[in-house]
Amino acid sequence: MARTVVVRSARLPGRTLDILAELRGMYRDMVELLVQYAVENEMTSFMLLKAEKYGELRSMHPELPSHYAYTACQDAATRSKSFLRSRRRGRAKGRYPEVRRISMWLDDHLWRPDGLTAIRISTHRGWVKVELEPSRQYWRYLNGGWSLRPEARIRLDPVEDRLIVYLTFEREVEEYEPKGFVSVDVNEDNVTALVDGAAYLLRTDMKEMTLGYDYRRRRIMERNSGSRRAMRKVIRKSGYRRRKEDVRRKAARIIVGAAAERGYGIALERLGKRPNENMIRDVGNPQLRYRIFQAAFKGIQREIEEEAMELGVPVVHVNPKNTSRMCPIHRAPIVYDGSRVGKCSEGGESWHRDVAATWNILRRALGGDGSAAPSPLGPSLDGRPMPLASTGAHDPTVIARIRGRGASPCRRSPRFRAV
């Protein structure tokens, strides 16, 4: 498995900055030429593109090291493939993709580490040394048994006169055979996990975060006559995206840590590629539609999957149909009265919809829907293994309220304990 780490450089000296700016301009020229040619000929193969355009690229910039022609072809082939796929699906605009942001691809001939806190880059002016300011994540992977891949990418930040370096670490990880499963139900405002027969609710407050940002965005748009530039500035200053990412990572680490500690796997719903579009199909309220799109159901699942890969925790996906609408005991519909607690139409048990969902996800995982583990629940499930009596309100235990960076009331990640 591989992980990409972003490392920023120290502020670049004037001469180094000029050299890298010239290098970026020449690299952009090559990529723009290659992308246009690849799209015109519907070409997505790096080898074919290099075979047809390598000579022209070398004559175009003979002062550049030859391997920049190779990496530019790789970059252009990737962009062309993405654009042609989007055009076939009717989502592409214009005849050719726009080359807006340039990240220069480097292979092992174009860069090399210089100690632990610096790299050297091959340019048209010779080798240039760049000092790095390693992040905590960089040291975590470097000291955690991960090896550095020979490929890298760099992007010049002309505003702060720094270089942004994308380094890739890799490590062999083997999945273990799970003893059981932690089933997870992802919702707009919380993530619910079923651990050892008890349901725990992690509050993400994603609804509050989304609505707060939306109100602020609307005020800025009205004040600036619909200026998108002003809106993008607000997004950067608010830290909205970083807070959402931070919430997702914290929830994923809590859940995956609980599963790894017990030797369990993780069971998730199979949401598909674009689940939000299906969810809003019958929703007319524009604010609710916006909230559903911003809820990041798939994003939280992706964070859980990536965190699980690092620890070798197996992940299975089950059919999500009616997981919160069917009673796990009688498999009869649950009738809700407008709240999140409803009653089984056959047995009369009270069920919180998130608890019912986690039990149904667990049943499907253990029943063979993507899992090799035998089902300890047997052919039917009575009320005894439930967290409360079969006629009680099966409410989850709220163990954490996850906030974005610097806003969490808990200094330590909460642990799942039976109550």
Q: Angle 392-328-315 (CA atoms, 0-180°, nearest 5)?
A: 120
Total structural domains within the chain: 2
User: Do 295 and 390 belong to one domain?
Assistant: yes
**Residues 6+ away with beta carbon under 8 Å from 197:** 385, 386, 387
The answer to whether residues 211 and 306 belong to one domain is: yes
Same domain, 166 and 315: no
| Interior angle at CA 136, CA 262 and CA 154, nearest 5 | 120
pLDDT of residue 109: 95
What is the DSSP code string of 9-44? Answer: EPPPPHHHHHHHHHHHHHHHHHHHHHHHHHHHTT--
| CA angle, residues 340, 346, 349, in degrees to nearest 5 | 45
Identify the domain containing residue 326 by its residue range: 181-401
47 Cβ partners below 8 Å, 6+ apart? none
Is 416 part of any domain?
no
Same domain (yes/no): 100, 186: no
Token pair recorded at residue 41? 């000929």
Tell me whether residue 418 is in a domain: no
In a domain, 9, yes or no: yes
Assigned domain for 313 exists: yes
Give, in degrees to the nearest 5, the angle at Cα 239 between 304 and 139. 55
Q: 235 and 346: one domain?
A: yes
Q: Which two tokens stand for residue 110?
A: 């174009």
Which pLDDT does position 93 carry in this prediction? Answer: 82
* Residues 156 and 2: beta-carbon distance below 8 Å: no
CA distance 151 to 106: 6
Which pLDDT does position 90 carry in this prediction?
A: 86
Is 269 found in the same domain as 375?
Answer: yes
**Per-residue DSSP letter, 98:** -
- The pLDDT, as a whole number, for residue 223 is 75
- 317 with 339, same domain: the answer is yes
Specify the pLDDT at position 408: 40
> Do the beta carbons of residue 203 and residue 209 sit within 8 Å?
no
Say if CB 319 and CB 10 are below 8 A apart: no
Print pLDDT tens along the chain (419 aa). 889 999 999 999 999 999 999 999 999 999 999 999 999 999 999 999 999 999 999 999 999 999 999 999 999 999 999 999 999 888 888 888 888 889 999 999 999 999 999 999 999 999 999 999 999 999 999 998 899 999 999 999 988 999 999 999 998 888 899 999 999 999 888 899 999 989 999 888 777 777 777 777 777 777 777 666 766 776 676 677 788 888 889 999 999 999 999 999 999 999 877 776 667 666 777 777 777 767 778 888 999 999 999 899 999 999 998 899 999 988 899 999 888 899 999 888 899 999 999 999 999 998 854 343 444 443 334 333 344 334 444 667 665 556 565 444 333 444 554 43
Task: Let me know if residue 176 belongs to a domain.
Answer: no
Phi–psi pair at 269, nearest 5 degrees:
-80, 145
150 and 278 both lie in a single domain: no
Both 275 and 185 in one domain: the answer is yes
Same domain (yes/no): 225, 357 = yes
Instruction: Assess whether 166 and 205 both reside in one domain.
Output: no
Q: Are residues 212 and 83 in the same domain?
A: no
